[in-house]
Amino acid sequence: MSYMILFKLLGSLALLMFGMKSMSEALQKMAGPQLRHVLGAMTTNRFTGVLTGVGVTAAVQSSTATTLMTVSFVNAGLLTLKQAISVIMGANIGTTVTAWIMSLGFSFNITDFVYPAFFIGIILIYLKKRRIIGDFLFGVAFLFLGLGTLKETGFNLVDDPQTNQAISAFFAHFNEPTFWNSLFFLLIGTVLTLCVQSSAAIMAITMILCSTGVLHLDQGIMLVMGENIGTTITANIVALGANTQARRAALSHMSVNILGVIWVISLLPWFLKMVYGLAGYNPETPDLAKVSVVLATFHSAFNISNIFVLIWFVPQIEKFVCWAIKPKHADGKEEDFRLHFITSGIMKTPELSVLEAQKEIVSFCERIQRMFGMVRDLLVEKNEQKFTKLFNRIEKYENISDNMELEIANYLELVSDAHLSDETKGKIRAMLREISEIESIGDACYNIARTINRKVQGNQEHFNAAQYKHIQQMMELTDEALTYMNELMGGFKEEFDSSKTFNTESEINNLRNYLKSQNITDINNHEYTYAVGTTYMDIINECEKLGDYVVNVVEARLGTKLKTTTS
């Protein structure tokens, strides 16, 4: 085999994989927000979950994308583990469409349609408004071009007597239908799919080997089952850094496919008889032209039958993965810096990665409000030891706040490197502003805590009753503003009443202005010293700044400017 043929094989395989990736990403750009809604809404029971998985995978043409998306939703708390298992089952059925596309490429000269697709696609890309459709057509064209070239090169390779003899001699060692030979091809299918990270590419290679007669159909079927196991390993790898439930969801995918392989192998003679009947194939008189159809039929029959069998055992599968993967630590450790929803590589689809970041921002906001609650407790804490412990805890939260802003920003920058829709680009810009303002809220909380700490460490005289009352009043309004902000961040912006934030911010500004004037009067009347008055107003002013940052977060989320009173 010449190097040119080898490079042609590798290049056509790369074209096929790139085409699948481009087509899948274009479909996800077109349907990203809808897919998020569908996955979140259409999983009321295991049966609707399966239908959801089928529909989403058929739409995006990638079971890996659907599985990663589902694992991410579990990681983000949007799906329960039981719902995720049913969606993943459906994804296994949806991915069989890819095998039929491959089979179609072996039925006629599919490359005839490639060049018109390239031509129409480039026109649509330059029209800009239809760019996503153009990207989709380019993906389809690259897929078919890679498939056609792979098919042509494979047949040319087999036509060479020397190469044909060498390849046939290798596979001839495993022609005997023994358990160990079957296990060998099952493992080969698993390992190759894991290495290439594309079950579609290995399916195409399997069809070529079987269609040219180099590989026996029974061996090809074992490769197909191995591909079903290999494709589950991707989600398990990327879920390693996710939370416990996400890792359990990924393991459930592998468990479902391994269980399917076990029971199908145990009934393989009868199962193959059914597949041959469905495909109209007679194994006694093999027809190489029909082999690709038989493999596609087997792939569909295997996944559909497996889901029909295992859908009744979803609760048992859930119990097994919960037993297999124990929580890393108890739930009370939220203060350790760890992003809950964003993990490296957990999402391969940029449009849907935005959801991960949004959930992390919601967690960021909730953490910041907890931090402000600690500041309020610090103000009234009299025990010196407890005061020091609480201040150190606030200081730790400040460091966490800085790290969270940096990590989320880095993640959003990675997402923005991909081709995105204008809507998603706008969301990312808004989210970057949100995390900057949320981090500023953390800074304000820490500044208040430091002011209180300086007062205590400097043995300043205590605030009088009126000052305590006014500080508590200001802090109550500030906490109210934070509550409204969290209500917006965790819900739907269309349902949020922005007047609540507007009114609270106006009250904060008015109270600050009143207290500023009253403070000067009280100092002149010798109600308290100038030093105490300065510390008092530092706390009041920092609360007012915090309120401004809250308004900025709300404005970034809503995409509109609130007409608040000037600070």
Question: 286 and 435 share a domain?
Answer: no
Terminus-to-terminus CA distance in the chain, angstroms?
77
Asked whether residue 430 is assigned to any structural domain, the reply reads yes
- Give kind and range of the element (H or E) at residue 550: helix 530-558
Summarised one tens digit per residue, pLDDT across range 497-518 is: 888 888 999 999 999 999 999 9
Of 324, 339, 374, which residue constitutes the final position of a domain? 324
H, E, C per residue of 434-476: HHHHHHHHHHHHHHHHHHHHHHHHCCCCCCCHHHHHHHHHHHH
Among 40-49, 350-359, 446-455, the range with the most confident prediction by mean pLDDT is 446-455
Distance CA 119, CA 400 (A): 51
Question: 251 and 366 share a domain?
Answer: no
Asked whether residue 342 is assigned to any structural domain, the reply reads no
How many degrees, rounded to 5, is the angle at CA 362 between CA 493 and CA 85?
100
What per-residue confidence (pLDDT) applies to 344?
47
Neighbours of 42 (CB within 10 A): 16
What per-residue confidence (pLDDT) applies to 31?
59
Asked whether residue 332 is assigned to any structural domain, the reply reads no
Q: Is the pLDDT of residue 305 over 80?
A: yes
More confident residue, 209 or 482: 482
Q: Which two tokens stand for residue 562?
A: 């609130």
Summarised one tens digit per residue, pLDDT across range 282-293 is: 877 777 778 888
In one-letter notation, the amino acid at residue 164 is N
Distance CA 49, CA 42 (A): 6
Question: 139 and 34 share a domain?
Answer: yes
Question: 368 and 307 share a domain?
Answer: no
Q: Which two tokens stand for residue 113?
A: 């349609």
Distance CA 273, CA 277 (A): 6
Among 90-94, 380-384, 441-445, the range with the most confident prediction by mean pLDDT is 441-445
Residue with tokens 């989709």: 136
Question: 301 and 391 share a domain?
Answer: no
More confident residue, 366 or 75: 366
**How many CA atoms lie less than 13 Å away from 170 in the CB half-sphere?**
9
What per-residue confidence (pLDDT) applies to 533?
92
Question: Among residues of the chain, what percentage have pLDDT more than 70?
Answer: 77
Question: 20 and 113 share a domain?
Answer: yes
Summarised one tens digit per residue, pLDDT across range 102-144 is: 776 666 566 667 788 888 888 888 887 778 888 878 887 887 7
Question: DSSP states of 296-311 as a string?
Answer: HHHHHHHHHHHHHHHG
Q: Which two tokens stand for residue 151?
A: 């098919």
Distance CA 38, CA 55 (A): 9
Distance CA 321, CA 65 (A): 21
What per-residue confidence (pLDDT) applies to 38?
58
- Contact between 168 and 160 under an 8 Å Cβ cutoff? The reply is no
Q: Is the pLDDT of residue 253 over 70?
A: yes
pTM for the predicted model, two decimal places: 0.59
Question: 310 and 457 share a domain?
Answer: no
- Contact between 260 and 227 under an 8 Å Cβ cutoff? The reply is no
Looking at 136-140, 291-295, 391-395, 560-564, which range is the least confident one? Answer: 560-564
Asked whether residue 175 is assigned to any structural domain, the reply reads yes
Asked whether residue 200 is assigned to any structural domain, the reply reads yes
Question: 430 and 287 share a domain?
Answer: no
- How many domains is the chain partitioned into structurally? 2
Mean pLDDT of 214-234: 83
Asked whether residue 330 is assigned to any structural domain, the reply reads no
Sequence-ordered alpha helix ranges (H) in 76-130: 81-94, 96-105, 114-127
Question: Among residues of the chain, what percentage have pLDDT more than 90?
Answer: 25
Question: 280 and 173 share a domain?
Answer: yes
Neighbours of 280 (CB within 10 A): 11
Q: Which two tokens stand for residue 353?
A: 């990665």
Asked whether residue 343 is assigned to any structural domain, the reply reads no
Question: 231 and 87 share a domain?
Answer: yes
Distance CA 497, CA 479 (A): 17
Identify the three-state secondary structure at position 259: helix
Asked whether residue 329 is assigned to any structural domain, the reply reads no
Sequence-ordered alpha helix ranges (H) in 160-243: 161-172, 179-196, 199-211, 217-238
Looking at 18-27, 135-144, 269-278, 287-296, which range is the least confident one? Answer: 18-27
Question: 536 and 498 share a domain?
Answer: yes
- Give kind and range of the element (H or E) at residue 75: helix 63-75
Question: 309 and 369 share a domain?
Answer: no
- Tell me the Ramachandran region of residue 197: left when phi exceeds 0, alpha when psi lies from -120 to 50, beta otherwise: left
- Give kind and range of the element (H or E) at residue 59: helix 46-60
Full domain range(s) for residue 265: 3-324
